[in-house]
Amino acid sequence: MAENRTELNQIGEFGLIERIQKQFSLQNPTSVLGIGDDAAMIDAGQDYLLVTTDMLLEGIHFDLSYMPLQHLGYKAVAVNVSDIAAMNGKPEQITIGLGLSNRFSVEAIDALYSGIQAACENYKVDLVGGDTTASASGLVISITALGRVAKDKVARRSTAKNNDIICVTGDLGAAYMGLQVLEREKQVFLTNPEMQPDLENYEYLVGRQLKPEARMDIVHELAEKNIVPTSMIDISDGLASELMHLGRNSNLGVKIFEENVPIDSMTYETAIEFKLDPITCALNGGEDYELLFTISPADHEKLKNHPDIHFIGHMHSNTQQNVMVTKQQTIVPLKAQGWNHFKSFE
């Protein structure tokens, strides 16, 4: 009799994480928070030590035909710093695990590490160790970032409250449209190698894809205004997906308004050019690495004039209603359709 077999794409990345999480319980009193947030929390006296790991694989997360190694090194650090930022913390150290095939030269690795060094200088973090090994094919980068946050300043996914205001930084969908532009130009080049890539009019979008920035500036500004987000997450898998995380973890529903979702004009115009719906790109594109957070209504006055923080909706008590109000005042359900690592292999 054949054994039952469940394919990974049936449960998806988050289903797998939840399945693993259920098998483990925390055994040490210093382990405050384990699997299930942007970073783990470890009791370190006055502060919490934050620990997060992110892995980037060639052919899955990046394509070296258009991703410069310097940018890849920078991005690999930035996406980990973004997880520390999402806990309202400040990064301090990183370690790097590197898998290399023999097609990479010493000069290529120098270029990769020049990007890593630039990110370390920008975010004021120290590279303190790691591991390097051979890879059968392709490049694998795994970075672990460590940071700190005062115990009364930490922001988790699970601590939003009813009627909290939902905020998002920057603009959304640009990284996704940058990827579409790069993929289009790659196909043009493969068809005709004499054709030069046409990226001049898409610099902002391409930059958002190739060299994203972690929003540590917002973390510092919130601290200056004495605001502690009631919950927070970074936008790596798409706005809709991250909203669902906040709602599910905080046992609340979410309601946002399409007209308040920030979309850059270049993102909007390029989406139309590609015959895509701009709001769909903003909701589900991913890799923006902006911060999505909630604040108490009492803090609204402190942020209402901030040019880079947008109020897009609010949390509410009905856990069954995660919705968006369109510009036509139609209420539509939010669906998390962002990146799913395992479905990509179907």
pLDDT for the residue numbered 346 = 39
What residue ranges of the chain are covered by domains with CATH 3.30.1330.10? 8-150
Residues 143-156 have a mean pLDDT of 97
Say yes or no to pLDDT of 212 above 70. Answer: yes
d(CA 36, CA 19) in angstroms, rounded, equals: 11
Say yes or no to pLDDT of 48 above 50. Answer: yes
pLDDT for the residue numbered 344 = 45
Higher pLDDT, 144 or 14: 144
Residues 309-319 have a mean pLDDT of 97
Residues 85-97 have a mean pLDDT of 98
Say yes or no to pLDDT of 345 above 50. Answer: no
Residues 277-284 have a mean pLDDT of 96
pLDDT for the residue numbered 338 = 53
Residues 80-106 have a mean pLDDT of 96
What are the tokens at 1?
A: 């009799």
Q: What is the pLDDT of residues 164-195, one digit of tens each?
A: 999 999 999 999 999 999 999 999 888 877 77
Q: Lowest-confidence range among 13-22, 146-155, 296-305, 334-343?
A: 334-343
pLDDT for the residue numbered 341 = 47
Residues 6+ apart with CB under 8 A from 108: 69
pLDDT for the residue numbered 1 = 45
- Partners of 332 in the β-ladder: 324
Q: Which residues of 53-84 are buried (b: 16+ CB within 10 A; e: fewer)?
A: ebebebeebbeeebbebbbbbbbbbbbbbbbb
Q: Which CATH number fits domain 8-150: 3.30.800.10, 3.30.479.30, 3.30.1330.10, 3.30.70.60?
A: 3.30.1330.10
Residues 257-264 have a mean pLDDT of 98
Q: Which of 37, 52, 51, 84 is nearest to 218 (CA)?
A: 84
Q: Residue written as tokens 């790097």? A: 96
pLDDT for the residue numbered 17 = 66
Q: Lowest-confidence range among 22-31, 89-98, 287-296?
A: 22-31
165-341 folds as Phosphoribosyl-aminoimidazole Synthetase; Chain A, domain 2 (3.90.650)
Q: What is the pLDDT of residues 13-35, one digit of tens each?
A: 667 767 876 777 777 888 877 77
Q: How confident is the model at residue 342 (pLDDT cuts 50, 70, 90)?
A: very low
CA Rg, the chain, in Å? Answer: 20
Residues 55-68 have a mean pLDDT of 93
pLDDT for the residue numbered 100 = 95
| AA letter at 262 | P
pLDDT for the residue numbered 25 = 75
Q: What is the pLDDT of residues 233-259, one digit of tens each?
A: 999 999 999 999 999 999 999 999 999
pLDDT for the residue numbered 198 = 73
pLDDT for the residue numbered 2 = 52
pTM: 0.91
Q: What percent of the chain has pLDDT over 70?
A: 94
Question: Which run of H or of E encompasses 265?
Answer: helix 265-273
Q: Lowest-confidence range among 13-22, 154-163, 274-283?
A: 13-22
